[in-house]
Amino acid sequence: MNANYLQTPIVYLKGVGPNRAETLQMELGIRTYQDLINLFPNRYLDKTQYYKINQLQRNSSEVQIIGKIINIKTVEQKNGKRLVATFIDDTGQMELVWFRGQKWIRENLKLNTPYVLFGKTNFYGGNFSMPHPEMELLVEHEQGLKIFMQPIYPSTEKLSNKGITNKVISKLIQQIFIDIKGKFTEALSPKIINELHLISKSEAMFNIHFPKNQELLAKAQFRLKFEELFYVQMQLIAKNMLHKQRIKGFPFDKVGTIFNKFYSESLPFELTNAQKRVLKEIRADLGSNAQMNRLLQGDVGSGKTIVALMAMLLAIDNGFQACLMAPTEILANQHYIGIQELLGDIGINVALLTGSVKKSARKIIHEQLESGELHILIGTHALLEDKVQYKNLGLAIVDEQHRFGVAQRSKLWHKNDIPPHVLVMTATPIPRTLAMSLYGDLDISVIDELPPGRKPIKTVHRYDSNRLKVFQFIREEIKKGRQIYVVYPLIQESEALDYKDLMDGYESIARDFPLPDYQISIVHGQMKPEDKDYEMQRFVKGETNIMVATTVIEVGVNVPNASVMIIESAERFGLSQLHQLRGRVGRGADQSFCILMTGHKLSSEAKTRLQTMVQTNDGFEIAEVDLKLRGPGDLMGTQQSGMLNLKIADIVRDNDILKTARYYAIQLLKDDPTLQKEENSAINYTYSQLIKHKNIWKYIS
């Protein structure tokens, strides 16, 4: 009865009706009894304790006090009147204040009669006061149902206006509990419940809505957070296991002459231990019978490209072709040039396919791809066109994969009857917590050390008032033959404002760095692509000393000679953007610098971001701080924030519970992949219901 009953449309619940049902659906997405019972409180008012007036603290928290009113008076004030009562207990006195509903309150208050008050206290002029307290006669309070920890549910202005108050929601939830006699179907196995000392599902549901005390509330929260994260991980891990069983890949069973020749003769430097470890993980995938589906994370400059190239050489050694898709022409070009240089005259045929490649050149690329003469194709979205047909694509690599939609990626997969192995790369470090939830169905590799000889970038924060000193520093660096970036923020809503900021900045730099001694490039979003490219190329070739730009340079400009990155109005940038921009310097052997310029007025969050940048170069550490500041939805961008639609768990704060849940999900699926064992029947049932009713987690690769 339980599961079916909970799927009943909310309109049928006693006390709801069509109007309330519509408002609940519009405002909180509540369509069924199940949705309402899973509307968990955001906080609780602790009514387990009674305070004395002399115990009150100046912390404006909600407190409960027993005492009497000894007098009431009306006080005139600038705009109208307020009603003030003197309230006492045996330790002292305080004031109660009302600004509205004074007539009714005055008529109904009883003097010298014990009351229980509940509300927030203020402290002013040496005295405590409580505005608009909740009041109940002590006699009635002692007879009523004791809700010790009062739950406060999420609400909106519309709900309040329609009279759906916190009290109403609490009453509706009580109604469901009465109907099902407080019994909920157990969703976890006895083994997990015993090992983790969890309370039962029914106890957890009761104590999340009507907790008797803090301890039971904590147990209920842990149990429900674990369960929610456990099922998220179950879906991801099961998907990964199924993928490995069902989707067969081409086994690359040999490491051949091309790979070995490149490794022994053409590698420009010794691979770092992290690169070696990642290559080993990729080789194990490629050698198994399953299709590789791996995410490669590594900070800007950590050497992902060389790992990707070596994976492509493995494909070629086994008689297959490979492709690499990048989100922009600049980035595709850069990969092409970089890979050509690395390969030298090893005899590998590499081509570049982007929107600007001429028709005649395209025709040759298409023909060579189909005949198998072309080994590696590098390009942009152009790789997805129907005309692009491979003889035998064995490995597809996608760079900065979050910039491509799922539909675009799946086009690549379907270029063969058997899908190619897939490696997705990103320079945006994703905190482990988030990676476990977003990419739990991908295998993850991390390159977490920089190549030898790279010096960490020195980052400093300077206020606008230090600008002359900063300019002096730039002159000294240019004298040494170095180049400088100056980046201005881009606020999408206001192109006019951006342009003005950029042009003002450009003019002040042009005044301080005049021709002919200094050459300045400028790049912004309103320029034609060919003009942008021309200016970029001048900077890349070293013909200009300073590049003034908006954030268009965030991805993929590689100028080893540029050693200073100045970020103007740095407080307007998010952490990951600051980190990406900083990664544009420090690509050569010289010491590089990042200077964060701001005004003096900074919010506390902006201060945290700037401090983090100054203290660390570690992209993963920065991503963790970013996750704490912004939350998972913002971090992954709007298109992906909906999927972590968690009801009670928070993947940042509940990181430890997430790890435990993932561990238990992995153990369970290893031991009982089809969930057929008797002891796992509750999990099997819940899992199938989840998939049937929610249909979530369809968003990955």
In 3-state terms, what secondary structure has residue 358?
A: coil
Q: What is the mean pLDDT of residues 291-316?
A: 90
Long-range CB contacts for residues 219-227, cutoff 8 Å, separation at least 24: 221/648, 222/198, 222/657, 223/198, 223/199, 224/40, 224/648, 224/649, 225/648, 225/649, 225/654, 225/657, 226/196, 226/198, 226/657, 226/660, 226/661, 227/187, 227/188, 227/201
Q: Return all residues near 470 (Cβ < 8 A) that are at least 6 apart.
A: 462, 566, 595, 597
- Digit-coded pLDDT (tens) for 483-518: 999 998 865 556 666 667 788 888 999 999 999 999
Higher-scoring residue by pLDDT: 6, 87:
87
Question: Residue 1: pLDDT above 60?
Answer: no
| Three-state SS annotation for 256-277 | CHHHHHHHHHHCCCCCCHHHHH
Q: What is the mean pLDDT of residues 444-468?
A: 88
Higher-scoring residue by pLDDT: 331, 294:
294
Q: What is the mean pLDDT of residues 2-23?
A: 90
The count of structural domains within the chain is 4
If you count them, how many residues does the chain have? 701
Residue 250, domain member (yes or no): no
In 3-state terms, what secondary structure has residue 221?
A: helix
Same domain, 175 and 139: no
Residue 240, domain member (yes or no): no
Same domain, 99 and 164: no
Residue 682, domain member (yes or no): no
Q: Which DSSP string corresponds to 598-649?
A: E-S---HHHHHHHHHHHH---HHHHHHHHHHHHHHHHHT-HHHHTT---SS-
Beta bridge partners of 395: 322, 421
What residues make up the domain containing 384? 257-287+303-426
Q: What is the mean pLDDT of the chain?
A: 86
| Residue 115, pLDDT score | 96
Closest CA to 191 of 688, 680, 687, 676: 680
Same domain, 125 and 269: no
Q: What is the CATH number of the domain that holds 324?
A: 3.40.50.300
Residue 690, domain member (yes or no): no
Question: Residue 576: pLDDT above 90?
Answer: no
Same domain, 340 and 476: no
Same domain, 330 and 422: yes
Beta bridge partners of 523: 549
Same domain, 611 and 466: yes
Same domain, 139 and 154: no
**Cα 447 off chain centre by:** 20
Same domain, 482 and 590: yes
Question: Residue 639: pLDDT above 60?
Answer: no
Higher-scoring residue by pLDDT: 330, 111:
111
Same domain, 266 and 384: yes
Q: Which of 188-202, 262-276, 540-554 has the highest mean pLDDT?
A: 188-202
Residue 658, domain member (yes or no): no
Residue 249, domain member (yes or no): no
| Residue 638, pLDDT score | 35
| Residue 693, pLDDT score | 64
Q: Last residue of some domain: 146, 169, 191?
A: 146
Q: Last residue of some domain: 183, 211, 234?
A: 183
Q: CA torsion sign, 204 to 210 to 213 to 218?
A: positive
- pLDDT class for 636, splitting at 50, 70, 90? very low
Same domain, 555 and 598: yes
| Residue 205, pLDDT score | 95
Q: Which DSSP string corresponds to 563-611?
A: EEEEETTGGGS-HHHHHHHHTTS--SSS--EEEEEE-S---HHHHHHHH
Question: Residue 114: pLDDT above 90?
Answer: yes
Q: What is the CATH number of the domain that holds 128?
A: 2.40.50.140
Higher-scoring residue by pLDDT: 242, 406:
242
Residue 411, domain member (yes or no): yes
| Residue 634, pLDDT score | 53
For residue 516, say if its preceding peptide bond is cis, omega within 30 degrees of 0: yes
Closest CA to 453 of 592, 554, 615: 592
- Digit-coded pLDDT (tens) for 139-172: 888 876 566 788 999 988 889 888 898 989 999 9
Higher-scoring residue by pLDDT: 404, 605:
605
Same domain, 415 and 269: yes
- Rg of the chain over Cα atoms, rounded to whole angstroms, equals 32
* DSSP 8-state secondary structure symbol assigned to residue 169: H
Tokens of 83: 């009603």
Same domain, 400 and 493: no
Q: Last residue of some domain: 126, 146, 166?
A: 146
